[in-house]
Structure 1
């Protein structure tokens, strides 16, 4: 993708709002150019300089990450007959980077074609009927296939791979947009991306959208190419039919001559087009792939009943009741499971096979913190044992071992950690020798190092004294006697390291460029990612699949003790003696505080909201108040396992506090194509899942109508003019049964309807205006209350 100019959309547009632009034109479209400068002297002599250059742009293929969203989602099945498919591109300039012959710069070179199997030729071995080949083979003359008149750029070779499709000539003419319609089928959007997973999104907040000019084909009768569903479900009929629709993002460059009302295909029976992206979906009465139905399904149990609040916490369903009358052992099991624990096999060090309770860092209850997790030096120290029931709690011990294993597995981090510890030990030894040496003043007024003492001598006139005539010493001189060693050397060192002055000196060195900062920064940054659970295996987060079944949403609290034990295991790598262990404990508070600051800004750093990497030394890492503030922050979150994640990969997730202010998003990542993890800084009063602003749908409502939206001040732009102020879009289709928009008829009629509704002239209706009128408001679902209530 070609990066566009920076745009402040993500900072200036409120969450949930959207900007629409007709286009986003590059300074120069792709192509070959020549700059010629001529300078004429007064005597008539001319000097001319010429410079040739080429502006490169995608031509036969686009980057795999260029497509951010497809609607309807790939492979989905739902009520899509009244939806116009579209694709969201991360490069806002891409549709206008190339120019079509005989058109203005506002005409895109890309189009979205909605096709069915019977309209395509060849490619039967691929789901979207795409044909793989080379550029040379694609452009080779064929008496039966119309190829584009394409002048490939110099960096494109005949042997380069490409993908293309062949459409029957008659069908191409029926569904392809005309040249004068293309500009209405692409526009640019600006949106705030703060509530979206990163996913390689260009963080200037601008996106290009290419919309199809055809509604999907649908059928109510089974056909040879239409699968049926015969399994009754709670929300579907006993038998539904579906029609497969195939969508291709194609290049129209070189096909300008046939994008007219009466094209000449020169005897060819099909048309070949470069396919830059493709997907397929099924249009049918089945609602299971609609956003609203999928979102509503999150609030229901597998049997279709409304889920209770306690069912939406991340935990197993208990087979027993925690109630009076339940036998004590079963009640204990119920309490453990309700608290998020899972019984797992456990083999003790003595070889006995038993079971242990395990709970990961994501808990359904507010966890009780323990200082032991941050002070542990071994996993065994964190094994809990309940003598009343003879059971083990291995949660924190597992966290410690996980942190240690992850640290050892990352060679770069282990190297940085050992270098940091070595430098910290060297500094501590230096400070200790300075404090115990009797060769330097001990009252704090004199120099504290040999270098400083030598500098004091120079400043005191040593060179002048050396230049004077020698004189005999008046008093005898003898070297100072070495200080007697402390009676308890280990205790003396321990007391020195524990002193406030030593801790302050170490903390100061962590923030100084000529101190420990060089070694400290990469350690703090790695530990920050660990605090956000980035490298932690998924099975440690969700130890039993039943805790997160398909099509489910589960809320949780983040257990700070589990995270402390995780960091203790990682930071304890490389300790070789009790001195190392004790010193690690001295600097651990500063390290954890710095890592917490980096973790809090980690997502903003990825989104480039803060310049460069977050520097752990920007704030005094020894500030105990800062440490307490970060360590005391309540972190909560959710796990979503649903087709919402795969179908809407940039799904918007927002968490609001009791005052309606958004909570900071610490992490929002796809753990798999269908699983989304979100961590929030605080306890939300409401969580919202919403279709992304840049990816919501176009289409019509029941009976082919759209509500007209305001285009003139002082009323808000885009506000519906009234419940009954509508426009019949389906009255403006091309003749035939393919449901293709006739934009030449639609745009003038829509303009007239808008002027009648406003009672004033609205001006020319452009691509952004058409998009605003055709858009279907993004759907959303709210979950209110800290205990996961939903509505």
Structure 2
């Protein structure tokens, strides 16, 4: 489970989430401001605004969901429907459901942190607690039914909000409670774990025999097995859930009845604990609360701007008289159903409780651990990241010069590593990670990209040892890149895009260098389109000059040029063709600059500015590559042994600063970009680096500094990091304020247990990074019984609490002091807030629990009486005003004091090792970390290229010849074929065929004698008569594509071209064996009204539903009758050339944009011919002698002209 933000999540799944979130927040604010200046109302989203300032927190007593889990819920729906006739219909429905929520185990990620951490020690006054990522979880189920259900609570709160009388519900009992036990209190004796007397003897095979308790004294079993455990009672009953609950498994602890009774007492009339009629859980309403915090400066919670947690606090202190460390076990226990139990009887030896989370910690004797001292010890260990001083000092003071040289290398952060040369010999080498103890300037000799990383090795001539630092960095970058498929694929696509565009542009530049007019690009053509349009008349031999109408043009009157330019191209000799290969000097002259141009184009956003991860990218491949490279510049994913080459560099309880070596990062990036080099000379890599440098130097809109890249950082290795994983880190300037520009922390992570890492872009000790502050996180503070507790007394300091704004609180000069005198309670005092013994007066100190109802009441009373007042315009008002003790108020009392450590880096920067971390001089400005390995990586070829660097020259005979004239013969006339090849895009030229040239079937055509089909016949009717030998019958209707007029062609007053529907319906015997070859419809075309249309120039015909056929229109010329005919052939889409007629039911098609001849009256009728062709013999081919043609009756087409009335 992730961290609950309480609204829209701002989580960014990236190691750079701190800088990305800052940049996007600034970009959003800049855009809102720009919209306001432009007069556009900007929509403010509450989810985008952080309601809490850094360091602030908000406490709630509980967050209860609308419906609790456990009991069955019913939802009923009623609906009354009234018909216009007055009839009514009442509908009712009811559905039962259960709310799905954790019950016997927690989902993964539910626990954010615990205190004390597992295995870590603390004093006996500390109360263990658990921080949960779900703020609703402790109240998902009912801890006490006496407070009503969550639905009843919701309805009551709604009624109170609407003005109803009653008291607001300020507390609610959680179903999760934190208990701590000594292991002896939970350890079962051997006879109860195994054998005939075992309490698990009746359980199923799901419980492994012999039974063994876990390290936290739990036993895992199903609920069904739990009910079979003998001599044991449990609050887990069938009433807590559906029948399927019995198959659920959980961890259970077995508590002795006396201890169970002491954990769930009731309150008597005096408010003291007493054994009631049954277990009582109301006291635990003070032991859980919700905290909403600002996550800035926190490694874990900082993934969200706002984080909300629920916290469950224990009520039991550790042993008070232990002289040696004692192991305690903390359990997050479910108390669901406890109030419905009876007290354990005489037959019950144990009470089984479900433990949803548990861990062990150690309770130390008093005064053995001090958090303030731990913070101070960290501050005293401030140094740089390198070998310990006790290792370097003897070498530095040695008289041996060689040892002094080794000490110097250790001072610079180097260590000795085992190294195997390329020839196989094993030797030693110097290695230093990216984190250096001193400033390392960009190396002057390392400026060229590498193809192998070997050329990045540096020989230490004084020691005679090879420095493989940057060679290792190069190999690490390449290896990491090879392990990321998405990055590798995107990088290769990006390289292809850059190389293709650059190569094309280089070739164009080479050609244009010979003759600028030899090649016209699209941009050139579009740029000259205005001139071309204005010169159109001259193309047709006009007598005037379009560009200068007053000046006659000379012969030939053709502006584009003479005959050679129009028609003649001389064949080029080999020497006349420039070398266009990639390795050609002619191409290499232009390629580097063109590659950079291509890379910069792809690195833009869709708006045309630099893509900076706050806008939309022009290239998604560049987006992937850029994000991956920036992650590597933040050293994300780099193996730990490469970052810290020797474990002695970071010893326990140490704070170590370092500088990030820009040369190391350069080599890392170069290795990552080396993939996909298919050309040897890698200009594409250099172009990508140029684009990356542009991004690094780019200042995004709304910001006053370029993109932040880390230059410095620190490691903190301490138990404090384990105790407080969200230890808050603040970077303050010389005035003690947070930086006004940029994110203060660029990367902040817990890299492993007890080790924190943080990156910055400011020099430690500069004006912008003058101090470093570590503060206990607000949601991971310790909770304690009191200031002090032992076997004789408990001493409580009531803390000051306020119900006024922070500005008013600061008026109270004593706000950091305890409120009044300390309260001291002894074991025999009445009205006690702490219970030492399970049996009063026994002196065993075996219970050690606080009594929250009395403790919270004492706190509230003291706050009401002694907090004092402040003056508000002459009126005295109280600092604290409340009448109810709540779990949030009680949690503030149980909180141990919050400690922070402020490290003054300014004083350390002027002396000692810290003085060498920053660059020379006193610069506070963030460093711009651009890449320096910008030289092109090249491969020495075995056979050198012999390409010529000289360009072919333009020959004189290439010039145009204006001696020719371009005059057409006066008798010239374009042929129809020529005209048909240059039609407009919306005009269709149909092929023309002579009727005499068409093959005719050798078998005589047979004509059907059935009556003619009337045009008004319904297209869906099925005639009953048959044609020749029972051949299929075709019902054909020709109409406009107008609903309601499927039997006529209708023309409006404009008579525009329209779509014509040819409806063809087949009726045939089910046993028909006809093999259909084609169906033809033939229309006589001519200019006058008796013809349906003059000609057809539309886009063609297509089938409407039966896509297994095609329609081929053809123009037929009948020279004998001197007439043209439009023949529409419906052919099957079959490799055989025919289909069985029984498989066809209709052949309807549409003839697009046909121009119909308009009759000079309201309507006219036109005849349309049609026929069908079949195979004569099913066993022979489709030759002309095997075709049977059956003519259909003519179809009458009715044409209606709406320009006339029906009477005309």
What TM-score range do you get, normalising by the shorter chain? 0.7 to 0.9
The SS at the match of 1:754 is: helix
Q: Distance in 1 between matches of 2:694 and 2:264?
A: 59
Per-residue deviation at 1:688?
A: 2.5
Deviations 1:595-631 (A, max 9, x none): x69xxxxxxxxxxxxxxxxxxx9969xxxx99x9458
Q: Which residue in the other structure is 2:823 paired with?
A: 728
Equivalences for residues 710-725 of structure 1 within 5 A: 710-713=801-804, 715-716=808-809, 720=815, 722-723=817-818, 725=820
**1:227 alignment counterpart:** none
Normalising by structure 2, what TM-score? 0.55
Q: Write out aligned runs for 1:386-785 (5 A).
A: 386-438=460-512, 442=516, 448-449=521-522, 460=533, 475-476=562-563, 477-478=566-567, 484-485=577-578, 490-499=584-593, 503-511=596-604, 517-579=619-681, 581-591=682-692, 594=695, 629-630=706-707, 635-660=711-736, 661-662=738-739, 664-683=744-763, 684-699=769-784, 700-702=786-788, 703-713=794-804, 715-716=808-809, 720=815, 722-723=817-818, 725-726=820-821, 728=823, 731-734=832-835, 736=837, 737=845, 738-758=847-867, 762-785=882-905
Equivalent residue runs for 1:7-86 within 5 Å: 11-30=50-69, 32-40=72-80, 45-79=89-123, 81-86=124-129
Structure 1, unpaired ranges of 5+: 222-240, 300-305, 598-616
Q: 2:348 aligns with which of 253, 262, 268?
A: 268
The 8 Å contact of residues 264 and 281 in structure 2, kept in 1 or not, is answered as: no
1:148 partnered with 2:242: no
Map 1:97-246 → 2, pairs under 5 A: 97-100=140-143, 101-104=145-148, 105=150, 106-122=172-188, 125-140=213-228, 142-151=230-239, 153=241, 157-176=245-264, 178-198=280-300, 204-221=306-323, 241-246=324-329
Distance 2:316 2:617 in 1: 65
Question: Given the alignment of the two structures, is residue 248 of structure 1 paired with residue 331 of structure 2, yes or no?
Answer: yes
RMSD over aligned CA atoms reads: 4.0
CA displacement at 1:146 relative to structure 2: 2.6
Farther-moved stretch of structure 1 (346-355 vs 108-117): 346-355
State the Cα deviation string for residues 227-258 of structure 1 (Å, max 9, x = none). Answer: xxxxxxxxxxxxxx122221100111121235
- Alpha-carbon separation, structure 1, partners of 2:228 and 2:515: 90
Distance 1:495 1:109, change over 3 A: same
Given candidates 386, 391, 396, the residue that maps to 1:314 is 386
- 1:399 Cα offset (Å): 0.7
- The corresponding residue for 1:236 is none
TM-fit CA distance, 1:751: 1.7
Secondary structure of the residue aligned to 2:92 is strand
Q: For 1:638 and 1:5, how far apart are their aligned partners in 2?
A: 32
1:570 deviation in Å?
0.8
Q: Name the CA distance, whole Å, in 1 between partners of 2:303 and 2:237.
A: 34
Deviations 1:115-137 (A, max 9, x none): 12232254864221011122322
With over 3 angstroms needed to count, the CA separation of the structure-2 counterparts of 1:720 and 1:369, relative to structure 1, is: same
Is the contact made by 1:29 and 1:96 (CA closer than 8 Å) also made in structure 2?
Answer: yes
Once the two structures are TM-superposed, the CA of residue 360 in structure 1 deviates from its matched residue by 0.4
Does the 8 Å contact 1:320/1:333 carry over to 2?
no
Q: How far apart, in 1, do the equivalents of 2:522 and 2:513 lie? A: 10
Task: Indicate if the aligned counterparts of 1:114 and 1:245 stay in contact, CA closer than 8 A.
Answer: yes
Q: Distance in 1 between matches of 2:304 and 2:244?
A: 26
Residues 505, 371 of structure 1: CA spacing in aligned structure 2 closer, same or farther, 3 A cutoff? farther
- Partner of 2:721: helix, strand, or coil? helix
Tell whether the 8 Å contact from 1:708 to 1:727 is kept in structure 2 after alignment.
no
Give the direction of change, closer, same or farther, for the CA distance of 1:140–1:193 in structure 2 (3 Å limit).
farther
Higher gyration radius (CA): 2
Distance 2:331 2:112 in 1: 15
Which residue of structure 1 aligns with residue 7 of structure 2?
Answer: 6
SS at match of 1:573: coil
Q: Which stretch has the larger CA shift, 663-672 or 431-440?
A: 431-440
Say whether the 8 Å CA contact 1:357–1:391 is kept in structure 2: yes
- Partner Cα separation in structure 1 for residue 494 and residue 243 of structure 2: 48
String of CA shifts for 1:275-298, please: whole Å, max 9, x gaps: 111112121227666543443444
Q: Unmatched 5+ residue regions in structure 2?
A: 9-46, 151-171, 189-210, 266-279, 542-555, 607-615, 764-768, 789-793, 826-831, 838-844, 869-877, 915-1208
Paired with 2:568 and 2:374, the residues of 1 have a C-alpha distance of 86
Helix, strand or coil at the partner of 1:55: coil
Matching residue of 2:1010: none
Contact map agreement 1:110 1:250 (CA 8 A) in 2: yes
- Alignment check: 8 A CA contact 2:711 2:762 kept: yes
Q: Distance in 1 between matches of 2:250 and 2:717?
A: 35
Q: Is the 8 A contact 2:417 2:428 kept in 1?
A: yes
Contact 1:68 1:201 in 2 (8 A): no
User: Measured at CA, do residues 530 and 289 of structure 1 come closer, stay the same or move farther in structure 2, by a change above 3 Å?
Assistant: farther
Residue 37 to residue 582, structure 1, CA distance change in 2 (3 Å) = same
Change (3 A) 1:458 1:28: farther
Structure 1 residues 653 and 450: alpha-carbon distance in aligned structure 2, compared to 1, 3 A threshold: closer
Separation in structure 2 between the aligned mates of residue 274 and residue 191 of structure 1, nearest angstrom: 31
| Cα distance between partner residues in 1 of 2:507 and 2:720 | 62
**SS state of the match for residue 284, structure 2?**
helix
Between the two proteins, the alignment pairs up a number of residues equal to: 728
CA contact (8 A) 1:356 1:394 kept: yes
Q: What's the TM-score, normalizing by structure 1?
A: 0.82
Aligned mates of 2:256, 2:781 — CA distance in 1 = 31
Q: Offset of 1:167 from its aligned partner?
A: 1.0
- Say whether the 8 Å CA contact 2:730–2:774 is kept in structure 1: yes
Q: Is the 8 A contact 1:709 1:772 kept in 2?
A: no
Give the 3-state SS of the residue equivalent to 2:406 in structure 1.
helix
Shift of 1:589: 2.4
Distance 2:440 2:513 in 1: 54
Q: Structure 1 residues 721, 346: closer, same or farther in 2, change over 3 A?
A: closer
User: Is the CA contact (8 Å cut-off) linking 2:281 and 2:338 kept in structure 1?
Assistant: no
- Give the distance between the partners of 2:714 and 2:367, measured in 1 at CA: 25
Classify the secondary structure of the residue corresponding to 1:756. Answer: helix
1:380 alignment partner in structure 2? 454
**2:315·2:849 contact (CA, 8 Å) conserved in 1?**
yes
Answer yes or no: is the 8 Å Cα contact 2:800–2:816 preserved in 1.
yes
